[in-house]
Amino acid sequence: MKFYRIGACLLFFCATWLNAGVGKISLLQGEATLTRGNDSLRAQNAMPLEEGDLIKTGAGSRLQLLFDDKTVVTLGEATLFSVTEYLKEGSDPKAKFNVAQGAFKVITGQIGKVAPQNFQIQTKTATIGIRGTIIWGVIGEDGDQIGCLDGSIEVGSLGGGESVLLRPNQMSFVPPMGPPTPPAPLNPSLFSPEANSGGAPMTPAPPLTSENQGEGMGLGIQELANQLITQANNQRQLQQIEENLSPVMGLTPASYIENLIVQNISLEYQGNIHGTVTDMSSNTYNILQNEDNRFTLGINFGSNSSFDVFMNFEIGTPMAPTYLSELGFDGDLIVNPSTSSFAGEQNSGMGVSGGSISGVFNGSGANSVTGAINGELSPPSSPSYILNGTFSAIKQ
């Protein structure tokens, strides 16, 4: 009987990993279980996801999911999350998730951009429709706290009736038997680990946008290389980043980063860039969050570490965007294992001058990076702009 059980578990394990499904577990800290049909498995990093999967995180655990359309879902401890429906391909892509308890954060991907009407999150008391955004949520006994960090979301009650539209840095409370409360200023402390037994979302941390700069929303960067901080033209931005929202995922241990340096390891991170650009007439434009927003950071660790950055994105408004492409630069990188931080300045570039980058490594295996990026942009056939941005990217 024991052999049969082990064999059945191995068969399910192999089937799970052979079927790529709809995404994967990109980061796990602690313990979590994945239930598929009548079978239950201990969750592991890189484990594929399928439609209908139910995930439960353990006490003190954190988990991050990466879906095929680049939607990122991060779960706090004691959170119950399920993939109700997911379809990336075809003319009618859709994503529907359910969060029955705990805390979560969602950064929408391609489906949220091309078919926002088909992207929906359901909690114990609320339904959330999105318009290309970043969402926080905490599921409580007396109702659900829902917050919007970027874009906009429509929050309604499961019982129907009135709904409210939340814009960046707004939140609403949805009781079990009533409509959502009117939009109110977002209170980050309500989503902190100390305030909720269900835990708090992990990184990628929320980006700074033109709407939330000055509102105290940051990426949780700790100490950066002092010699570059004093030279950076985004000092105010870095100060906000340092003072707010330390990533619950945790910084990468110094020993892990030291090992990357000793072994001369090269890593690549892919994600998105956020923030604003300013033209020579002092006009400021938002960086749009859509499928054209791409950020790649390559890091070559060693006694003389180096980096290269490539980015494409649109600015302006969705109805009249300007596409900035073929932008990149490289240079030497200062890596500080004791603070899990890095910083570098441009040596050479393509469409960029005076570029600088700084940030931190997150997760036990340097699973993601978050930070700030600046420089003067001179894309082909476009005017020049000053970039004042932030980035969040996942290890490939």
Q: Residues 15, 16, 19, CA angle at the centre, nearest 5°?
A: 80
Which residues are CB-contacts of 271 (< 8 A; sequence separation ≥ 6)?
A: 204, 295, 368, 369, 391, 392, 393, 394
Q: Which amino acid appears at position 46 of this protein?
A: A
Residue 201 maps to a domain: no
Residue 196 maps to a domain: no
* 144, 168, 191 - which closes a domain: 191
Q: Which pLDDT value is given to residue 215?
A: 32
pLDDT-derived band at 228, boundaries 50, 70, 90: very low
* 136, 170, 191 - which closes a domain: 191
pLDDT-derived band at 186, boundaries 50, 70, 90: confident
* 169, 191, 213 - which closes a domain: 191
Q: Which pLDDT value is given to residue 61?
A: 87
Check whether 235 has a pLDDT greater than 80: no
Q: Which of 38-42, 99-103, 227-231, 356-360 has the lowest mean pLDDT?
A: 227-231
Do 291 and 155 share a structural domain?
Answer: no
Residue 369 maps to a domain: yes
Do 283 and 158 share a structural domain?
Answer: no
Dist. CA 229–CA 300, nearest whole Å:
22
Do 48 and 96 share a structural domain?
Answer: yes
Dist. CA 377–CA 89, nearest whole Å:
35
Q: Which pLDDT value is given to residue 249?
A: 54
Do 159 and 68 share a structural domain?
Answer: yes
Do 258 and 314 share a structural domain?
Answer: yes
Spatial contact of 111 and 93, defined as CB atoms under 8 Å apart: yes
Check whether 226 has a pLDDT greater than 70: no
Q: Which pLDDT value is given to residue 260?
A: 95
Residue 214 maps to a domain: no
Count of domains observed in the chain: 2
Residues in the chain: 396
CATH of the domain at 258: 2.40.160
Do 235 and 180 share a structural domain?
Answer: no
Residue 280 maps to a domain: yes
Q: Which pLDDT value is given to residue 336?
A: 92
Quote the mean pLDDT of the chain.
78
Do 230 and 187 share a structural domain?
Answer: no
Do 63 and 149 share a structural domain?
Answer: yes
Predicted TM-score of the model (pTM)? 0.52
- pLDDT tens, position by position, 372-392: 999 999 887 678 899 999 998
Is the C-alpha dihedral spanning 389, 392, 395, 396 positive or negative? Answer: negative
Residue 282 maps to a domain: yes
Do 186 and 258 share a structural domain?
Answer: no
Residue 129 maps to a domain: yes
CATH of the domain at 79: 2.60.120.1440
What value does the mean pLDDT take over residues 37-59? 92
Domain hosting residue 163, numbered range: 2-191
- pLDDT tens, position by position, 299-312: 999 999 999 999 99
Spatial contact of 110 and 92, defined as CB atoms under 8 Å apart: no
Q: Which pLDDT value is given to residue 331?
A: 93
Residue 198 maps to a domain: no
- pLDDT tens, position by position, 260-301: 999 999 999 999 998 899 988 888 899 988 878 899 999 999
Do 6 and 152 share a structural domain?
Answer: yes
Do 355 and 238 share a structural domain?
Answer: yes
Do 86 and 152 share a structural domain?
Answer: yes
